[in-house]
Amino acid sequence: MMAAFACALCLSARAGERERLLGPFREKLHRVVFTKHFDMGGSHYAYTDAVSDEDVLNPGGVKKEFNFKPGSSLCMLSLDEGLNVWETTLIHDDNGVIRDPDVSYDGKRILFAWKKSAHDDDYHLYEMDVATRAVRQLTFGKGVADYEGIYLPDGNIMFSSTRCFQNVDCWHVSACNMFLMDGDGKFMRRIGFDQVHSNYPQVHPGSGAVTYTRWEYNDRGQIYPQPLFQMHPNGAHQQEFYGNTSYFPTSILHARGIPGTQKVLAILSGHHTPQKGKLAIIDPSLGREETVGVTLVAPEEKPKGSIRIDQYGQKGDQWQYPYPLDENNYIVTFRPNGAKHFGIYFMNRKGERVLLAQDPTVSCNQPVPLVPRPKPPQVGYPIDWSKTNGTFTVKDIYSGPGLKGVARGTVKKLRVVALDFMATDIGRKHGPSAISDLAAWDVKVVLGETPVHEDGSAAFEVPARTPVYFQAIDGNGHVVQTMRSWSTLMPGETFSCVGCHAYDSSAASAKANTLALQKGVAKLQPFYDVSGRGFSFPKTIQPILDAKCVKCHSGVDAPAPDLRATPVWDEKARKLWNKSYNSLVSTGRAARPANDTSQVTGTIDEHSRYVNWIGRWSVPTPIPPYSHGSSRSPLVKMLAKGHHGVKMTQEEMDKIACWIDLAVPHSGTWTEGMMADDEAVYLRVRKLRDVWRREESANIAAYIEHQKAASKGVQK
């Protein structure tokens, strides 16, 4: 269907003004594809996947959040020589939602996500041939959502998907991560291994890197860190673009690179908000934290002061899905203050605007020019999918801000910890499943340790495609500093860190003549019998207590802590904790309500009478060395002195310190401590994850064979 917009729309700016504003962009605005659908987002910006069975009642009686409103269109607006606007409906669906259009570099194809009904279909990727309007489906599968797909310069497609089969740690909803496949939907494989949501990948036209929003909170509060990350199109060199250790911006959404620059145009939004907010340019060359690299635009304003707002940017005029034509001119999805729906506008840095598309019944959004565009630089780092490991190198751990003031020689080794993320919510009314008493968020798997040499260097292998983080450990076995994030390597990738909290992804860094590299890349050394499995208090710490402590601490002599393994039911967590765990972690500590999502400003650690650990609500900003953990725990000091004449072995002391420094986890698996009914629910979804992994393994094997065949063809 094609129709001219009403005169009021076409004449929303006087002819002279329209010519001044739109005239220079006639070619880029000749055709623009866009969508019409409900405003995305629910109680949190990322909850948009609406998996078909997501809103069923689980055994705990908790309804999962499900955000879906049917009625949607894929449309195209055309700008003629007279700067009049025409609209064409390419697809309309009364029962489904069409979203996330992307245009191929030659301007001949449109990639989009389409969910055709609430419960009988899921978001999957489709492609339209613009010339013929023929549509083909690229991804399939019930109970998984594939969306936010983009064309990559090498012909592959990157997209967000729930095929990771993970649940948000703090709420009742599935999470999505980044996936990769070829242009026909073959060789699908996961390249993002993140705790919760990773959203909205976009190829930066200036650098060729893919920017995306990553929501993370490993050993820190979950409200503020929704930073902008970047990676190569093959998944290598995943690292911060902006805001990973700052309160502001609360969330960075819908970021797109600005042509001819290293900057992005993005939406600054909140945590517990839909996908909308304020329009801003982010320039990482000015700095990567807080307000230093941020400029609000339309109109231009520099944010000032310390901004710590959960629901940032939700008042007044609202923006979504910007598309920069250059640094000063954009196509945006915009809703003036007081309006009911979003429309599509041309807008410049000053805020001058021309309305291009609107609908009185639904928001118009996600505009993308339907014209050819140049491919960006095809940067990349060689990876080898036949390998199972990657390599980290550290030039000098003391050179970064994370160990400021720490004397050289203090750090003796790095502990490498993998994270096992939750597969599904088992129905806890106040939030999803837990593996600790308001401490560690996720199962911690100690993979091993590696020495830090005299010059502060280290070089070591880790399993590829595995989220890992590092802890700097001193001669007493105590944590000096913790990485409250994670890093993931692709197969065969080498990633170099300058120091603690200071990255350098250049290949030159990996070639530095450090002592670690002179001695060769090391394999991780086991941490006693703990390595390779989730750290379990009942299996690792309780045997120590049974052998050395329970004889006196048997629950008879109050107020001495009861250190027996007696199971204690925690109704809020729907878990059985060991009585000893409860005694050591909870005694003398004011309990935070399980549904309290506030950020405690200034808090770094939490503590009981006996142990001290990095707080689950700790600040997003960098924290000082020795600010938490075993070095500050009264229990460790007590045992070191020989409490009751008991003498702990070095292994026992190391294990206790490690438990504390991992943020006192109780369960070494997500099902440890679960009741049978809950365990059955969890394992049902975990099985789906395992089924996908087998399918993915076959995809990777086929991809390796495809690469071999292509290589032979080139040689011929």
Terminal alpha carbon distance of the chain: 50
Q: Compute the distance between CA of residue 647 and CA of residue 635 in angstroms, rounded to an integer.
A: 13
- Full residue range of the structural domain in which residue 712 is found: 675-716
Q: Quick one: 354 and 401 in the same domain?
A: no
Q: Quick one: 31 and 54 in the same domain?
A: yes
For 625-639, write each residue's pLDDT tens digit: 999 999 999 999 999
In a domain, 345, yes or no: yes
Which CATH number goes with the domain that contains 89?
2.120.10.30
User: Which bin fits 221, alpha (ψ -120 to 50), beta or left (φ > 0)?
Assistant: beta
Q: What average pLDDT does the segment 176-192 reach? A: 98
In a domain, 258, yes or no: yes
Q: What is the mean pLDDT of the chain?
A: 91
Q: Compute the distance between CA of residue 167 and CA of residue 207 in angstroms, rounded to an integer.
A: 33
Residue 294 phi/psi, 5-degree rounding, is -110, 135
For 702-712, write each residue's pLDDT tens digit: 999 999 998 88
Q: Quick one: 348 and 436 in the same domain?
A: no
**What per-residue confidence (pLDDT) applies to 13?**
57
Q: Quick one: 495 and 579 in the same domain?
A: yes
For 119-177, write each residue's pLDDT tens digit: 999 999 999 999 999 999 999 999 999 999 999 999 999 999 999 999 998 888 899 99
Q: Is 704 exposed, middle or buried (0-12, 13-18, 19+ CB in 10 A)?
A: middle
Q: Compute the distance between CA of residue 688 and CA of residue 51 in angstroms, rounded to an integer.
A: 14
Q: Quick one: 679 and 655 in the same domain?
A: no
Q: Higher confidence at residue 11 or residue 314?
A: 314
Confidence of residue 6 (pLDDT cuts 50, 70, 90): very low
For 330-357, write each residue's pLDDT tens digit: 999 999 999 999 999 999 999 999 999 9
Q: Compute the distance between CA of residue 678 and CA of residue 416 in angstroms, rounded to an integer.
A: 31
For 429-442, write each residue's pLDDT tens digit: 666 788 998 899 99
Of residues 679, 179, 172, 195, the one with CA closest to residue 420: 195
Q: Quick one: 210 and 98 in the same domain?
A: yes
Q: Compute the distance between CA of residue 616 and CA of residue 604 in angstroms, rounded to an integer.
A: 9
Q: Quick one: 81 and 171 in the same domain?
A: yes
pTM: 0.94
In a domain, 376, yes or no: no
User: Is residue 56 over pLDDT 90?
Assistant: no
In the chain, how many domains are there? 3
**What per-residue confidence (pLDDT) applies to 591?**
44
For 487-496, write each residue's pLDDT tens digit: 999 999 999 9
Cβ atoms 162, 115 nearer than 8 A: no
Q: Compute the distance between CA of residue 553 and CA of residue 6 in angstroms, rounded to an integer.
A: 81
**What per-residue confidence (pLDDT) applies to 715?**
46
Q: Compute the distance between CA of residue 440 and CA of residue 664 in angstroms, rounded to an integer.
A: 6
Q: Quick one: 343 and 442 in the same domain?
A: no
Q: Compute the distance between CA of residue 350 and CA of residue 352 in angstroms, rounded to an integer.
A: 6
For 78-117, write each residue's pLDDT tens digit: 998 888 899 999 999 999 999 999 999 999 999 999 999 9
Q: Quick one: 189 and 131 in the same domain?
A: yes
Q: Quick one: 243 and 130 in the same domain?
A: yes
Q: Compute the distance between CA of residue 6 and CA of residue 373 in angstroms, rounded to an integer.
A: 30
For 538-574, write each residue's pLDDT tens digit: 999 999 999 999 999 988 877 889 999 999 998 888 8
In a domain, 383, yes or no: no
Structure tokens at 505: 């992804």
In a domain, 379, yes or no: no
Q: Report the relative pairing of strands 389-394 and 494-499 from DSSP bridges.
A: parallel
Q: Compute the distance between CA of residue 599 and CA of residue 709 in angstroms, rounded to an integer.
A: 53
Q: Compute the distance between CA of residue 126 and CA of residue 16 in angstroms, rounded to an integer.
A: 40
In a domain, 669, yes or no: no
Q: Quick one: 350 and 402 in the same domain?
A: no
Cβ atoms 41, 275 nearer than 8 A: yes
Q: Quick one: 481 and 359 in the same domain?
A: no
